[in-house]
Amino acid sequence: MLTEINFDGIVGPSHNYAGLSLGNIASASHGGDTSYPRAAALQGVEKMRGNLARLGVQGFLLPLPRPNRALLEALALDGTEPPQLRAAAWSASAMWTANAATVSPAPDTADGRCHLTAANLVTMLHRAQEWPDTKRQLDIAFADTRHFAVHDAVPPTFGDEGAANHMRLATSHDAPGVEVFVYGKPGGRFPARQHEQASRLVARRHGLAPERTLFIEQNPEAIAAGAFHNDVVAVANGRVLFTHDRAFADQQGAYEAIRAAFPALEVVEVPSSAVTLEEAIRTYLFNAQLLTLPDGSMALIVPEECRESASVWAWAQAMLAGNGPIRQVIPVDVRQSMANGGGPACLRLRVVCDPATVDPRFLLDAAKADLLERVIAAHWPEQIDPIDLASENLARDVIAARAALLDALDLGELG
Ligand code: SUG
pLDDT of 226 reads: 98
| Beta carbons of 136 and 152 less than 8 angstroms apart | no
**Ligand 1 atom nearest to 99, measured from its CA:** 10
pLDDT of 110 reads: 98
pLDDT of 211 reads: 98
Number of separate domains in the chain: 1
75-124: per-residue pLDDT in tens?
Answer: 999 999 999 999 999 999 999 999 999 999 999 999 999 999 999 999 99
Angstrom distance (rounded) from CA 115 to CA 113: 6
217 given a catalytic annotation: no
- Within 10 Å of residue 360's Cβ, how many Cβ atoms? 12
What average pLDDT is seen over the chain?
98
Find the helix or strand (DSSP H, E) in which 301 lies: strand 298-303
| Beta carbons of 15 and 92 less than 8 angstroms apart | yes
346 given a catalytic annotation: yes
pLDDT of 306 reads: 98
321-349: per-residue pLDDT in tens?
Answer: 999 999 999 999 999 999 999 999 999 99
Which residue segment(s) compose the domain that 389 sits in? 3-414
278 given a catalytic annotation: no
The pLDDT of residue 307 is above 90: yes
167-223: per-residue pLDDT in tens?
Answer: 999 999 999 999 999 999 999 999 999 999 999 999 999 999 999 999 999 999 999
Query: Residue type at 281?
Result: I
**Ligand 1 atom nearest to 126, measured from its CA:** 19
Predicted structure pTM score: 0.98
Angstrom distance (rounded) from CA 221 to CA 272: 13
Instruction: Provide the pLDDT confidence category of residue 1 given band limits of 50, 70 and 90.
Output: confident
What is the 105 CA–ligand 1 centroid distance (Å)?
Answer: 25
Instruction: Provide the pLDDT confidence category of residue 296 given band limits of 50, 70 and 90.
Output: very high
255-272: per-residue pLDDT in tens?
Answer: 999 999 999 999 999 999
Angstrom distance (rounded) from CA 118 to CA 317: 38
Mean pLDDT on 141-160: 97
Mean pLDDT on 283-290: 98
DSSP-H helix ranges across 242-352: 251-261, 277-283, 304-307, 310-321, 335-338
Q: 3-state class of 176 per DSSP?
A: coil
Instruction: For ligand 1, pick from 93, 194, 283, 337 the residue to mutate: most ligand atoms within 8 Å of CB.
Output: 93
Distant-in-sequence, close-in-space partners of 4: CB < 8 Å, separation ≥ 6? 55, 173, 292, 350, 351, 352
Q: Whose CA is nearest to atom 10 of ligand 1?
A: 346
Mean pLDDT on 288-316: 97
What is the 339 CA–ligand 1 centroid distance (Å)?
Answer: 9
- CA 208 from chain centre, in angstroms, equals 22
Angstrom distance (rounded) from CA 372 to CA 247: 37
What is the 263 CA–ligand 1 centroid distance (Å)?
Answer: 34
- CA 88 from chain centre, in angstroms, equals 19
Q: How many helices (H) and strands (E) does the chain have?
A: 15, 15
Angstrom distance (rounded) from CA 108 to CA 209: 7
What is the 81 CA–ligand 1 centroid distance (Å)?
Answer: 22
What is the 291 CA–ligand 1 centroid distance (Å)?
Answer: 23
CATH number at residue 346: 3.75.10.20
Ligand 1 first shell, C-beta below 6 A: 17-21, 24, 27, 31, 91, 93, 96, 98-99, 127, 164, 228-229, 231-232, 340-342, 346
